[in-house]
Every structure is written in C-alpha cells, then in structure tokens.
Structure 1
Amino acid sequence: MIVATGSGGPPVGNTALSGKTVLLGITGSIAAYKSLTLLRDLKAAGAEVRVVLTKTAARFVPALTLQVFSEHPVQTDLFESENEMAHIHLAQEADLVLIAPVTAHFMAKMVMGLNDDLLSSILLATTAPVIIAPAMDLGMWAHPATQDNVSILIKRGLKIIGPEVGRLASGKTGMGRFSEPENILKQVLNIFSETPPLMAGERVLVTAGPTEEAIDPVRFISNRSSGKMGYAIAETAKRWGARVVLISGPTALPEPEDVELIRVRSAKEMKIAVERFLPESSLVVMAAAVGDYRPRNVAPEKIKKIGTGYFIELEETEDILAERPTGPKGQVVVGFAAETQDVIENARRKLKKKRLDLIVANDITAEGAGFDVETNIVHLIDAKGKVTSPPKQLKQHIAEHLLKAALEIKQHRTNR
C-alpha cells in the first residue's frame, strides 16, 4: 500500500489554482511514488488534475490509487481510451502539462518528437506550458546525451525543476534526486501568478562567450568559454520580464528569442559595445570570458611554418570592468571570476578592485563546473562579504540564483 505523506503543501481551502486544469504525467522512475503527494497538493490548491501514466510508471505507482486521489480516471494507453482522440482532448483542456518525475528515456523521446504512447502524443498536441522534474541516478543525469537533451528542451521553452543533490535509490549521493513536491508546487503556482514579472521594467546588459584576438588573418588567441552561462542569464532575465541586451563573443549557441544580440570578436569590440549600452542599463552582468592578452602586432599575411619556431609578443587587453564609466544611479554590476585556486579569496580581490556589487566565483577545474558543460558550481559574493554557495545545478538555475541576488541588492538600495 502506498500512502501520501505530508510535504508542507498548501493548506486545505487554498484556491490559488482554482479553475485550472493540470495534466500530471508520470514516467517510470522510482520517485513516482512522490507524485501522490504532488497530486494531493495540486488538488488542495484548487486544481483539476488529470493523470496520464506511462506503462513503466504503472510498475511503481498503481493507477487505481492515482484515480482515487485525482477523482478522475487515469489514462494509461493511447489506444485503450474510451475516447479515440484522448490525446487531443487532454492536450487542449490542459492549462499546464507537468511531468513529474520524468526519466532520461522520456526526455530523449521529447527531444526526438516521438509519440508512441499517450503522454508523448499529448506533448506534441498541447500548446500549454510544460514543466518537467527529472529524477535519475547521478551517472545518467551527468551523461553527455542527457545534458544535451536538457539543453535542447530548455531552448524550446520548457521549464525544468531540479534535479537536486541528495541520496539516490542506488545508495549513492549526488545530483539526480527528484525535487520535493513542495518546491514543484511553488513553481506551478508561479506559472499562474498574476503578479508582474520579477524583472519588469529592468534594462539588463549581459556579456557572454569568449573573445578572439587575431595573430594573423587565419589564427587567433581565445579561450574555452562556450557562452552558456551568459546566454542562460540573458534568457532568464527576458523570461522574468526584463529588456535584455546580450553582447556575445563568438559562440555556437542559437540566438535567444526576444533578446537584442550584439555580436563582437575582440576585447576592444566588446568594450565599445558595453560602453554604448552601459548608461541605460539598470543591471549589468559581465559573464563573458574576456581574453587578458592579445598579440602586440598582427601579421598582415598568414604566418608560414619555417621550422625555427615563432615568438609572439603579447600585450594586455582592455579591462572592461575596471575601466567602465560610472553608470546611472542604482545600477548593479555583477562580475565573474573563473579561478583554479584560492577561488573565494581571488574573487574578493577582483570584486573590490573592479567596484562590483556582486561577483560569481567558480573553480573551473571542478567536475561539473566551468566551460562547455550544462551545470555549474559557484559562490556568490556580495560587496559586504556575504558568500552564498548553491549546490551544483543547471546553469539555468544558477542564472536564477544570480538574478535574485542582484534584485535583492537593488531592493535594499531602494529601501535605504
């Protein structure tokens, strides 16, 4: 017998989701039993909940139990429903599709657009917002295929909740644990909130990616930055209602929707672009990995190999942060410190030297952090010396932590 236990969910009588229909999809994870608590909390918040269960999920949680909790028949099969167009009707009546838990296998199906069962067919037919809450072992979550799929789903506009770091069914401890139902419920409530977006009225300037400094017409000096962190910040700020300008060095990332994208190559070009938009920005997030050096002289023709080696004299590039002009009153400036040793100490020095309000420090040698991965491990350090260290998370979630911290600084200044 499976019993749903308390999760600190909404009190009885809460009607925050009154009149809303949530389609709760459950896939074949050991965490499926927690969907009972989530279902109960959604109902307690006033939602009508329709449950769609995959065949493998039915091995973990009985359809009859879900039917009792939801007060509606549980749909499990594309071809056995009384309504032969069930996937269309369920897709159309849903105000939100929530898949919790979602497995690595099902996320791969979503990326490919496969629809060989009822739940995947609904996803292709619905126009409602989609939230997924992954749950799997840490190795499955960290696998490059899973991380690529997560990145694609985020770019398509899906919201991903978790996973969290904790003890897993395998007995290991790591990232892959299903988010608590209480946290998932909060995210659902945010979807339907009538309050203005968190960053409505803000003008946000973000830099991202590497810079390139020419050696000759063919070669250049650069670094390993993928731009993923900066793009995640820009996309999150836009989703939260801000007007966003993204100044990007060369990356392979697709252009974010509804964001003004300015493409540059060198540190000098980035400095010019930053100074153009700086005076009108209420929040500046300098996430780009700007090169520290460039060749003093650029060869006008391709340098030929002659067997004797070649020496390049380097000079320092512009320090965009340190040399920036004073911004408008109340402007908050956030910098990044990619370090390999003494991470927090070096970041604190950089914060003070470059007159920052907040700095995001990370050890680029740590597994799951740094360049060209979907996750990051960071320390947020403010001008008062406070250090906040969230666990390893998707860069999308790190972006949310960063922007909330910046908004808190702005709010504190407004209240003084």
Structure 2
Amino acid sequence: MFNNLSEKLDKAFHVLKGHGQITEINVAETLKEVRRALLDADVNFKIAKEFTNKVKEKALGQNVLTSLQPGQLMVKLVKDELTELMGGDAEGINLSGTPSIILMSGLQGSGKTTFSGKLANYLKTKKTKKPLLVACDVYRPAAIDQLHVVGDQIGVDVFSDRGNTDPVAIAEAGIAYAKANGHNVVIIDTAGRLAVDEEMMNEIANVHKAIKPQETLFVVDSMTGQDAVNTAKAFNDVLNFDGVILTKLDGDTRGGAAISIKSVVTKPIKFIGTGEKMDAIDVFHPSRMAERILGMGDVVSLVERAQEQFDEEEARKIQKKIAKNKFGFDDFLKQIQQIKKMGSLKDLMGMIPGAGKALKGMDIDDDAFKHVEAIIHSMTPAERETPTLLNASRKKRIASGSGRSVQEVNQLLKQFDQMSKMMKMMQGGGGKKMMQMMGGLNGGRP
C-alpha cells in the first residue's frame, strides 16, 4: 500500500538530513521532492502545490524550534498536513432510520457488489445488525448471482426480483421485505457502467429520490488514480453522496485517489477495502493512513485487530498449558489461525513501524503458513501433543507426508521450542495477548 509514494517521500526528507536548522533553501529543496512524489502518485497538480505551500509556511514559521531535528520536524508537518488533506478525523456511518437504508453507487468494476457484501458482514459482526442485501442491477444477471453468492458466504439474506426491470420498484420492494422480516439495515447494490453516462445518472438519481437513503456511498477503485477523483466528482454533482469507499488498496496503488478525493468532493472516505476476503474492510482513519504512508506504521490498528481475534477463555487455557510445559502443536495451530483472521500478512507487516522499509522488495505470501500447517497436519495427535516424541524416523515420515524436507521439519521444531520458552518466560508479563499473536507469527516461518 503506497510503497512507491512512501519510498519517494523518504528520499525527499533525506535532503534535510545533517542540517542543523530549517532554512528557506533546504525547505524548498525538500518540498520540491515532496511535490514530485505526490504528482507521481497521481495527486492533482493544484492539490499537490497547495499542500507543499501549506507545509512550507508552517515549516518556516517554526524555525525557532530546537527540540526536533529539521528532518523530524518536516516529517511531522507533512504527516499533519496529509491527515488534514485526507479528512482529519475518521467518519462513522449513519445507521439512523428503521431500517437504515444504504445506497451503493459506482462504476462497473470498482468492486461495488463485493464491498456491499463486506459492509453487510461488517455491520452484522461488528455492529450486531441484521442487514439485507438488495440486488438492483437489472442489466447484468451475473451481478445478481454474485450478490447471492456473497450473501450465502456471509450468512446474509439477499432480495432480488429477476423478472422486474425497474430498479426503483425493486429497491422499494426490498425495503418493504426488510421491514416485514426484521432487517434493520438495507444495503442496495445498484448497476454500474464502464463510464459515466446520462442514463446511468438519471437511473441512480431516481432510486435515490424514491428511497431517501440515510447513507449514499460512492465506491471507487483506488488503482484508477486521478480518474477515480474525477468520477467521484461527477457522481457527487448528481447524488450529493455522504461518503467514499476506496477498494483495492491492497494492490499496487499510487495513492492519488486516497490523498486527494476528500479535497475535491469535500466528502469523507468512510471505509477502505484491503483484500479479497469478506472481512477485509477497515474504517478509514486519515491520521493512521498518513503514518503508514510516511513509514511510521499503524500500531493502533494492529492492536485493534489482535483484540478482535483474542479469545480470553482460550488464552487462559494456553497459559495453563505453558505453565505445565504442555503447549503443543495443536495450540500453535490455533495461534496461526488467529493471526490469519487478522488480515493479509503484507497488510499486517505494513502496520509495524519500519517494517515496510525493511521488507522492501520482498513478496510476502498470504499462504506463508501453509508449509507449517502441512508439517503439523502430517504429525499424529500424540506427536502434536508431545513434540519430544519426534525422533529421526518420525521426522522423516512427517517430511515425506507434508512434501517438505527433514531440514524444514527440524527448523520448525527449533523455532517452536524457542517460542515455547519465550512464552513461558513472558507469562508473568502484561503483554500476553500480543505476545501470543506475534509469537506465532515469528515462529511460523520454516
């Protein structure tokens, strides 16, 4: 996420390295590189220029500060300005109304239908709501099928009427169905086009007028850069939507849309999509995103994800086993599953300060644990419970059964032993939750 932009901003700050104070000359040199980095990230030229002018004004106004090095001060100023540019504070979703009606809009291919499912799953699991998905794309039967597949996947009802070609009538019938069946949130997935056209705008404007949604969200593919911002403006002129959803932020995005869309349409980014899975959805926090862009990581989000997956009862059982030296590979597998539920490994590593730079160029595979799991599943129940049973012949059998080498089996056993000792040493400390989660991560790479 934003790797290219992060790298170029880091180079820009090197201009100030070694300087003892802020001057007009070194600030101008640094901000020239910052502006170039933003333009390369597909940020609008006018926005990039205004951004660097604001940072310059603040930097030169603070040249009396001595507590920070010039480079550190510039990073702070850029971080604060990036946060403001992207919206300042995180915005919640409006769930007033009975039921709450959410209208999804966007071009075809932006990830609108998939994100409708992600949002339904988020509201169901995090907000304990009972959502209903309504299929209003009357042009693509595949879109209706896709929404039903998504609904089945997350356990959410889907309303559709394949014999009806009027999206307004379908939306109204879906809302009536929700009221009759106890659904307190209705998410309406509308038709998209390959480009903005009058017919499309009239249609979604008619749906919007008829159902009067509490939330109208515009879904945009963040990989389309400045085009995404222009499309958002066209939709906003017609719908006056309430917020933006950025999808595909896990891809090789330049970041221009995320950075400049708020400035253009004056509407907040409310959620981001960070992967293919139905739980790959995050509330957008401008300050946290600014920190990630500048290589500072996002420890708060990392801890929040860990807490979501933390099972107190399971943790107590694990602690007892550690105390009795009975922590086995079945327990280790459970730790791996908790980490996998937190999201993609690449995304998680990006939340650790400095990790992005350290792992530059490395391909972090989401299936990084599959070899570990294969080795463990090739063990007998007795071997998983009591790893000391693993002698040379057993290791050879496990290696053969998992398709790995004996050396990899030995390496996993060594890491498992080190992790078990570390967990026992730390058992009396206060960081057990993160220790268990990250302990599994460190021990899971044979």
TM-score, reference length from structure 2: 0.28
Larger Rg: 2
Larger proportion of helix? 2
Larger proportion of strand? 1
TM-score, reference length from structure 1: 0.30
